[in-house]
Amino acid sequence: MDFNATLRETRHTLGKSATLKLFVISGLALALLIPITMVKALIDEREQRKEEVIEEISGKWGRPQTITGPVISIPYKKYFTDQDGRKHHTTEYFHLMPDSLDIKSTMTPEIRYRGMYEAVLYASELLLLCSFKAPELQDLEISPEDVVWSGAMIGVGISDMGGIKERIVALHESESIEINPGHTISTLIHSGVSAHIRMDGVGTHHFSILLKLNGSQQIQFAPVGKSTTVMVKSTWQAPSFVGDFLPVARQIGKEGFEARWNVLYLNRNYPQQWKGDAYNLDQSLFGVKLYKQVDVYQKSMRTAKYALLFIAFTFYAFFLSEILSQLSVHPVQYLLIGFAMIIFYTLLLSFSEQIGFNRAYMISSTAVIILIMSYTRSISRRKSVTLMVGCTLGLLYGYCFILLQLEDYALLMGSIGLFAALAVIMYLTRKVNWYALCQRIKPEAPQANETIDSRSVPA
């Protein structure tokens, strides 16, 4: 058999063998995973750029805030005896949590833009009302004469000191207290403010602290009180409650939200008083996040996860057209159609950054559907095939858009959609004789102008 005959047989095999053709287009679909991965990497890169811009804006305004305290720390003398029998002492601290803590917070949200990126910021005003009972020294195994009451201080943890925009006002039994930055015991309060107070170890001490802080995205609180009550009000319409505790009461409407938490000391993992750095206050945090609806990058990434499914359905739609309509589509043409579908995701990403996801999806999907339909028309010259491909693509992109809107039911609707698609394919191919399609067609006889190699003719 000469080269021309071999070439003809290969061409016939590729063009007429349904099984081999199915393997080829399946391989092409899998090969397109490479550009799909590149598209996902592009989405990640753009989202990372957005996070960098938000971090830059937040760094100048105020990062997410965490309020810890107030907490009172009191020094005491701890005695020890050296090897020579001489008595020495070191100064250590014990810490006292408030018996009751009531926090009232008002958040005023604001959106700042940097180019096409936006950051959710807020200005907050917090009023901290707390009361401290005298410490129970016998439980701490500390003698009253060893306590240095003159060194007592009250501290409040503020995660981002750059968010403090006004002087902090604190009152102790109607006496104004000067607040200083930093805290002597960094293991207790890593970042915050403190002030020395008058305390004698008897009675109950009441404090009032007013904070005006700038922050971004969220605010959280530590339930340091034996009974902690937090109330947050804001005009933001889409709050997301984060942390270890949900609010016991909340109201969300068009005018904003109001939420209230009640947390007991039994709900946390540290006591009301202790010595040294035995416990960490950055536990059992709770609060609210100014939630923003799923942004364009999350939606674009979710859409890209369906890319292989889209390509596979489109390829198999063309494959069914070849079987049912005697249409011949070359693997290169399959590849070009796959590239057109990959372009959809870059169009979607670039447009959605400028005009929003929904409009970008409509424009990008319409453009790709028209492109593939026009290409199909030029290949098949048949309106029926073109309409079938267009309807298939329209259903795919329309159904995907519905899945993106139904976040809670996406898996259910996706499963139903796949079942329905498989049922349609099985129905359309129920009378196809696959064995007949899988038979190879013999090579055609050579034409008159073709040269026959004499060595291939038997003697």
* Rounded Cα–Cα distance for residues 65 and 61 (Å): 11
Cβ–Cβ < 8 Å for 213, 62: yes
The bridge status of strand 204-216 relative to strand 273-275 is unpaired
Looking at residue 407, its pLDDT comes to 63
- What does the block give as tokens for 293? 């609806």
For the stretch 268-312, pLDDT in tens is: 888 888 888 878 888 889 999 987 765 788 888 888 887 887 888
CATH class of domain segment(s) 63-292? mainly beta
* Distance of alpha carbon 445 from the chain centroid: 64
Highest mean pLDDT among 54-63, 110-119, 209-218, 422-431: 209-218
Indicate whether 9 pLDDT > 50: yes
For the stretch 406-421, pLDDT in tens is: 766 666 666 776 677 6
Nearest to 344 by CA among 391, 300, 299, 403: 300
Highest mean pLDDT among 3-17, 158-172, 399-413: 158-172
For the stretch 50-74, pLDDT in tens is: 888 878 887 788 888 999 879 988 8
Looking at residue 54, its pLDDT comes to 79
Alpha helices in 356-382 (DSSP H): 357-380
Buried/exposed 307-344: b ≥16 CB within 10 Å, e otherwise: bebbbbbbbbbbbbbbbeeebebeeeebbebbebbbbb
* Rounded Cα–Cα distance for residues 189 and 390 (Å): 63
Burial of 27 (0-12, 13-18, 19+ CB in 10 A): exposed
Indicate whether 425 pLDDT > 80: no
Q: Where are the domains of the chain?
A: 3-47+297-438, 63-292
pLDDT-derived band at 101 (thresholds 50, 70, 90) equals very high
Looking at residue 104, its pLDDT comes to 93
* Rounded Cα–Cα distance for residues 18 and 5 (Å): 21
Looking at residue 302, its pLDDT comes to 80
